[in-house]
Chain A
Amino acid sequence: MAGNLQFIKSLSTSTAVSELKLENCFNDKYDVYKVVLKVDSVTSEAAQSIRLVDSSNNVISDTEYDFAYQFMRVGSGSYSTDGTIGTTYWNFTMYNEGSVGGFFVMDIYNPYDSSSWTFASWQMASHYLASSQPVLMARKAIGVHRSEEQITGIAAIQSSTRLDGATLSVYGVK
């Protein structure tokens, strides 16, 4: 019997890019998806965000994204929470520095429903460098895309071309 968590598609890079974009990965067969971003390598310190892709395969960059997160780290230092309304992406979905790598898992609800906003919940684990030593950091976050439109894909984006070892994968929860 086939299981009910089903692989849909993935995209990898081994050369430096600023965007990993998966088109046509959301459809009417599922209402909930799991998206996994695994980062093995960046050329330099790199923050990463998520944008959604519309039915014309355009990355949506309108001010329609809300998100909130809790930041956590090992060792001494502060935990923090923050929220943002009406920005152009779901920010702080990933951060990488050094060679340790990191990943996130995101649950996305109702992306393909053209009469519904798209909801998401995610958690990430990665590292930043403090005095050249990797420090584990994590975020738990949620977001909504405040637009009633059909979402067919997802893009992991950076402001610089620094992502040179990563895989973005999408699974459907049947």
Chain B
Amino acid sequence: MAGSLIKINETTVTSNQSSVAITGIDNSYNVYIVKTVGMEGTAHDQPLRFQVTESGTGSGDSDYDYSLKNLGVNGAYDRTGTNDTSFTLEFTDENTAQAQHMSLIYCYNFSSTTEYALVTIEGITVGRTQNAVGVTGGGVYTQTGTARDGLSFFQAGGGNIRAGHITLYALKK
């Protein structure tokens, strides 16, 4: 029996890049999943963030709303944003061993030009203190008019992404 989780695209980061995009979302499927493994940044204690891409380029417009419950091994807290210029994940750090981020990001309505693009996020980060934080929540990109074709990841604070493996999957209709 043919499976229903279909790999669309993947990219591996092995040297510093200011941003890393994964594209391939179109109207072939309703739901896409972006898997990130071993994402590392070069800046000190700065969050990994991501934008939706339009024709392969991350949109930096102030159209990102999100709400996250962050479950830390030493405490839980909420993180929200309204009219932000990107979605946020959690803090990573260049000097801390095992400071990495992993996540599964579900993408909905991306190929539509009339509906908002939605994401749900299930992630886990080890940051500056080597303590783990879970990232659970969702966000919405409130700009319409142009189809979104992927996600673009970067580290805030002028950092680069120095390592990571990103894969785009689709769920069969």
Interface residue range, chain B: 20 to 34
Flag the segment in B43-51, B56-64, B69-77, B111-119 that touches A.
B69-77
Stretch in B98-106, B138-146, B147-155 with 4+ CB within 8 Å of A: B98-106
Q: Tell whether, in the assembled complex, residue A3 and residue B5 are in contact, meaning their CB atoms are under 8 Å apart.
A: yes
**A68 to B4 CA separation, bound complex (whole angstroms):** 31
User: Once the chains bind, are B124 and A5 in contact (CB under 8 Å)?
Assistant: no
- Total CB contacts across the A-B interface at under 8 A: 106
Note all chain A residues with C-beta closer than 8 A to B130.
146
The residue that B7 contacts in the complex, of A32, A143, A174, with Cβ under 8 A, is A174
A67-B73, A83-B72, A110-B37 as given contacts; A173 in contact with B5, CB under 8 Å: yes
B102 to chain A minimum Cβ distance, whole angstroms, is 4
Q: Are B3 and A70 in contact (CB under 8 A)?
A: no
> Would you give 5 A-B contacts (Cβ < 8 Å), ordered by A?
A66-B131, A81-B76, A109-B102, A121-B104, A140-B69
Q: Which B residues form the contact surface with A (CB < 8 A)?
A: 2-7, 35, 37-38, 69, 71-76, 98, 100, 102, 104, 122-124, 126, 130-134, 136, 165, 169, 172
Q: How large is the interface on A (under 10, 10 to 19, 20 to 34, 35 or more residues)?
A: 20 to 34
Given A69-B71, A110-B38, A121-B122, 13 other A-B contacts at CB below 8 A? A1-B3, A3-B3, A3-B4, A66-B132, A67-B73, A83-B73, A116-B98, A117-B100, A119-B100, A120-B124, A121-B134, A144-B124, A144-B126
Residues of B within 8 A of A119 (CB): 100, 102, 124, 126, 132
A56 within 8 A of B: no
Q: Does A149 contact B (CB under 8 A)?
A: no
- Chain B contacts for A83, CB-based, 8 A: 71-76
Using Cβ atoms and an 8 Å threshold, which residues of chain A touch B136? Answer: 70, 140
**In chain A, what residue has the closest Cβ to B172?**
A3
Instruction: Name the distance in Å between B146's Cβ and chain A's nearest Cβ.
Output: 29
**A3 in contact with B2 given A83-B73, A142-B71, A173-B35 (CB within 8 Å):** yes
CA–CA, A145 to B11, complex, Å? 26
Max chain A C-beta neighbours (<10 A), residue from B73, B131, B136:
B73
A1 touches B132 (CB 8 A): no
Question: From residue 59 to 101 of chain A, which have CB atoms closer than 8 A to chain B?
Answer: 66-70, 81, 83-85
Contacts of A144 in B (CB 8 A): 73, 124, 126, 132
Is A4's beta carbon under 8 Å from chain B?
A: yes
Contact B74 A85 (CB under 8 A): yes
Contact surface of A with B, Cβ cutoff 8 Å: 1-6, 31-32, 66-70, 81, 83-85, 107, 109-110, 116-117, 119-121, 140-144, 146, 148, 173-174
- Our pick among A3, A81, A85, A116 for the contact of B71 (Cβ within 8 Å) is A81
Residues of A near B35 (CB, < 8 A) are 32, 173
Most chain B CB within 10 A, of A4, A32, A143, is at: A4
User: Across the interface, do B132 and A143 meet the contact criterion of CB distance under 8 Å?
Assistant: yes
**CB-defined contacts of A70 to chain B, threshold 8 Å:** 69, 71, 76, 136
